[in-house]
Structure 1
Amino acid sequence: MTLSGLIAQESRVFDALTMDSKILNMERKFAVYLPPGYEYSQRSYPVLYLLHGAGDDQTGWVQFGEVQRIADEAFADGSATPMIIVMPDANTGKRGYFNDLTNDWRYEDFFFEELMPYVESQYRIKSVKKYRAISGLSMGGGGSYFYAMHRPDLFSSACPLSASLRNSSFEDFQERMAKGKVEVKDKAALQTYFDKHQALRQLELNDPEDIKSVKWFFDCGDDDFLYEGNSLVHIAMRKMEIPHEFRIRDGAHNWTYWRNSLPVVLEFVSQTFHQ
Structure 2
Amino acid sequence: MSRFFTTKIAAFEELYFITVKSNALHRRADLTVYYPNQAKDISGIPLVILLHGVYGSHWSWVAQGNVHQTAQALINAGQLRPMVLVMPSDGLFGDGSGYVPHREDNYETWIVEDVIEVVREQFPDVTTSSPVFITGLSMGGFGALRLGAKYPQVFQGFSGLSSITHFNQLRSFVADFASLQRDALEQDSVLDWLLKNKAMLPPFRFDCGKDDALLDANRSLHESLIAHHIDHTYEEFAGAHAWDYWQTYIEKTLLFFNQCIR
Partner SS for 1:37:
helix
The residue aligned with 1:258 is 246
Shift of 1:250: 0.9
Q: Distance in 1 between matches of 2:198 and 2:91?
A: 32
Aligned CA distance change for structure 1 residues 26 and 32 (closer, same or farther; 3 Å): same
- Identify unmatched segments of 5+ residues in structure 1: 1-9
1:36–1:72 contact (8 Å) kept in structure 2: no
The residue aligned with 1:3 is none
The residue aligned with 2:134 is 134
Matched, 1:207 2:208: no
Aligned length: 243
**Normalising to structure 1: TM-score of the pair?**
0.80
2:132–2:156 contact (8 Å) kept in structure 1: yes
Shift of 1:50: 0.6
The residue aligned with 2:45 is 45
Q: Distance in 2 between matches of 1:266 and 1:182?
A: 33
2:29–2:91 contact (8 Å) kept in structure 1: no
Aligned CA distance change for structure 1 residues 163 and 58 (closer, same or farther; 3 Å): same
Partner SS for 2:38:
coil
Shift of 1:268: 0.5
The residue aligned with 1:26 is 27
Partner SS for 2:140:
helix
Q: Distance in 1 between matches of 2:189 and 2:150?
A: 12
Aligned CA distance change for structure 1 residues 255 and 182 (closer, same or farther; 3 Å): closer
Matched, 1:229 2:230: no
Q: Distance in 2 between matches of 1:114 and 1:151?
A: 14
The residue correspondences of 1:56-205 to structure 2 (distance < 5 A) are 56-94=56-94, 95-96=96-97, 97-100=99-102, 103-123=103-123, 124-128=125-129, 131-166=131-166, 180=179, 193-194=186-187, 197-204=188-195
1:54–1:91 contact (8 Å) kept in structure 2: no
The residue aligned with 2:7 is none
2:150–2:197 contact (8 Å) kept in structure 1: no
1:11–1:72 contact (8 Å) kept in structure 2: no
2:158–2:205 contact (8 Å) kept in structure 1: yes
1:31–1:86 contact (8 Å) kept in structure 2: yes
**Normalising to structure 2: TM-score of the pair?**
0.84
Shift of 1:248: 0.7
1:145–1:160 contact (8 Å) kept in structure 2: yes
More helix by share: 1
Higher Rg: 1
State the Cα deviation string for residues 165-221 of structure 1 (Å, max 9, x = none): 13769xx9xxxx99549679xxxx97xx34xx21233334x132112xx11111100
Report the residue type matching 2:257 in the other structure.
V
Percent of residue pairs bearing the same amino acid type: 26
Report the residue type matching 1:152 in the other structure.
P
Report the residue type matching 1:230 in the other structure.
N
Partner SS for 1:92:
coil
Shift of 1:112: 2.5
Partner SS for 1:158:
strand
